[in-house]
Chains A and B, each alone.
Chain A
């Protein structure tokens, strides 16, 4: 009969963040099937093991105590550095008492790199640990992953809750952001005056963090395209990345189709203006200067080169509403844009331009979670101050 045993021990002498384990080894013990057994030193790591890795048995200190004779955590040393002979152990499923069969299992489990039968090697190098057949789990990463899942589920739950409770409300109670107030007015004026709205989506692709601001830019483009669909000069979108260019065309086409003005769509209205920061700006400036633009909306991932776009807009006397996720560029926009959007204001564009109740619900969820994060940060700082962390 073959049994599976996975052994896992905290390596307190090496790095608290790492736990080493050997993938299942075979164990021949009298006729019963046992679950893998894991031992860990903290409740958080037990939680991680149990729920995140799906391990079916994870034990706390009692297990550590049983491992003490083997040089485990209970002895205050590492598994390899305990220095005492392997005289007893436990077998999975028989935690009530130690079992002598543990020695051969341990010999197989830890035959390399830190232990070999008959020669109890002390203090193997960390390199051995990483290269000698052990899988390593970065506990900090694992804890972060679990917290990430919880955070996203909490965010999702709050958004759904606020959406469900706020759908019927006629008053939205959003604080006024002058940039969006002016933008709405300006888009209306552009339609009446037959001028264009220029939306610049930045250079951030969809493969990393800048995707957030780029997606907000696309949402705003959608709202502006719908609002200006009856204009003689429909909006024009510039971007510095191929995917964004394709998506901007698609967003405009969908917006025109949804208001039955598909004949307004022109593939040239969604443009790639350049692929490097300054070539992108150099390609977008002629759009601002030469294409009868009256309003510029710069939403996306920009560097400080965005200052050249705002300057071109100033020269033409246009309104510039600008926001980015890039902190140095935000500093530039504070000085250079007529209506800068700072921090999370960038992401509120959909809610303020009437993209739907879910956008408002997501704003409310952001507000709640911001306070949650503030409390967590303060608690963490306090815990650090008093030595708990």
Chain B
């Protein structure tokens, strides 16, 4: 059963979308487009607050049910309120706020980044087992070549041939491939946008 507001939602969403789209092409509507986009930015900021509230509530439930990993939810709550308190008192550019960011956020994310490098190496090996074939070998061979061409080898230094091969792969092959992929992405994005504008896709409770 459709919500009684679904038609109103659809009318507002479609008409707004059409005005914004046409505003990109017709200078007369540019000011209206700008205004609507500003409203969207404000709404997105409020959605962010709703999202943070949702995050806290989900973790509160986890703590309440004494689920596995509930202690981490407690850590999240404590860290959240400490951070909000410090930034509120010290300002976003204050030394204590910057200290929190530089000493906790960046090292933690850096650690995950390092973990990602190991994870991808394992994934490449797993790929050989899962989809062994010509393209898999080409993929892994290219990855190794680019890796060796990028990072100087210990005790040997940079190998000119590998560096040149890496530059050619990065500058010619990968750009050509990426543009082909991006062409498909662009067409898909336009198709998705048109479907939303026509009300076929209604990600707003239609």
Contacts and interface: CB of A to CB of B under 8 A. Distances in A.
Nearest to B113: A278
A359 B184 CA distance: 16
A211 B17 CA distance: 13
Contacts of A359: 195, 200
The dominant DSSP class at the B interface is helix
A268 to B, nearest CB: 5
A370 B187 contact: yes
Question: Which of A207, A219, A335 has the largest count of B CB atoms less than 10 A from its CB?
Answer: A335
Contacts of B204: 247, 250
A336 B143 CA distance: 14
Contacts of A276: 105, 109
Interface in B5-51: 6, 21, 24-27, 37, 40-41, 43-44, 46-51
A149 B69 CA distance: 53
A159 B54 contact: no
B78 interface: no
Contacts of A211: 189, 193
B52 interface: yes
A152 interface: yes
A373 B68 CA distance: 53
Given A246-B51, A308-B112, A347 B192 contact: yes
B21 A152 contact: yes
Interface residues of A, number: 87
B116 interface: yes
B51 A216 contact: no
B181 interface: yes
A202 to B, nearest CB: 14
B189 A257 contact: no
Contacts of A209: 189
Interface string B113-132: 10110011011101100100
B205 interface: yes
Interface stretch (A74-82, A101-109, A164-172, A324-332): A324-332
Contact of B109 (A207, A278, A366): A278
A215 B192 contact: yes
A362 B189 CA distance: 11
B171 interface: no
A327 B188 CA distance: 14
B178 interface: yes
Contacts of A355: 201
Interface string A214-256: 0110110010000000000000000001110111001101100
Contacts of B49: 242
A335 B124 contact: yes
Interface string A263-280: 000011011111111110
A243 B54 contact: no
Counting from the closest, the 5 A-B pairs by CB-CB distance are: A347-B188, A212-B189, A344-B184, A242-B51, A343-B184
Interface of B: 1-3, 6, 21, 24-27, 37, 40-41, 43-44, 46-52, 54-55, 57-58, 61, 67-69, 72, 105, 108-109, 112-113, 115-116, 119-120, 122-124, 126-127, 130, 139, 143, 178, 180-185, 187-196, 198, 200-206
Interface of A: 52-53, 145-146, 148-149, 151-152, 155-156, 159, 205-207, 209, 211-213, 215-216, 218-219, 222, 241-243, 245-247, 250-251, 253-254, 257-258, 260, 267-268, 270-279, 281-283, 286, 290, 304-305, 307-308, 310-311, 314, 325, 327, 330, 332, 334-336, 338, 342-348, 350, 355-356, 358-359, 362-363, 365-366, 369-370, 373
28 contacts: A53-B27, A159-B195, A207-B44, A209-B189, A213-B188, A215-B192, A246-B47, A247-B203, A250-B203, A251-B205, A254-B205, A270-B54, A274-B55, A278-B113, A308-B116, A325-B185, A335-B123, A336-B127, A344-B184, A345-B184, A347-B185, A347-B189, A350-B195, A358-B195, A362-B191, A366-B184, A370-B183, A373-B187
